[in-house]
Amino acid sequence: MSTSRRRIDIEEVNGVTIATFVDKKILDEANIQTIGSQLFALIDEDGRKKIILDFTHVEYLSSAALGKLIIMDKKAKTASTKLRLCSIRPEIYEVFEITRLNKIFDIKGTQEEALEGF
Q: Is the dihedral of CA 35, 13, 49, 57 positive or negative?
A: negative
Judge whether 64 and 26 are in contact, CB under 8 Å: no
Long-range contacts of residues 87-95, Cβ cutoff 8 Å, at least 24 apart:
87/54, 87/55, 87/56, 87/111, 88/55, 88/58, 89/55, 89/58, 89/59, 92/55, 92/58, 92/59, 92/60, 92/61, 95/61, 95/66
* Ramachandran region, residue 100 (left: φ > 0; alpha: ψ -120 to 50; beta: rest): left
Maximum separation of any 2 CA atoms in the chain, in Å = 37
Q: For each of the chain's 118 residues, which pLDDT tens digit applies?
A: 344 678 999 999 999 999 999 999 999 999 999 999 999 999 999 999 999 999 999 999 999 999 999 999 999 999 999 999 999 999 999 999 999 999 999 999 999 999 998 8
Total-model pTM: 0.94
Which superfamily, per CATH, for 8-113?
STAS domain (3.30.750.24)
**Strand duo 16-21 + 8-13: pairing:** antiparallel
pLDDT of residue 59: 97
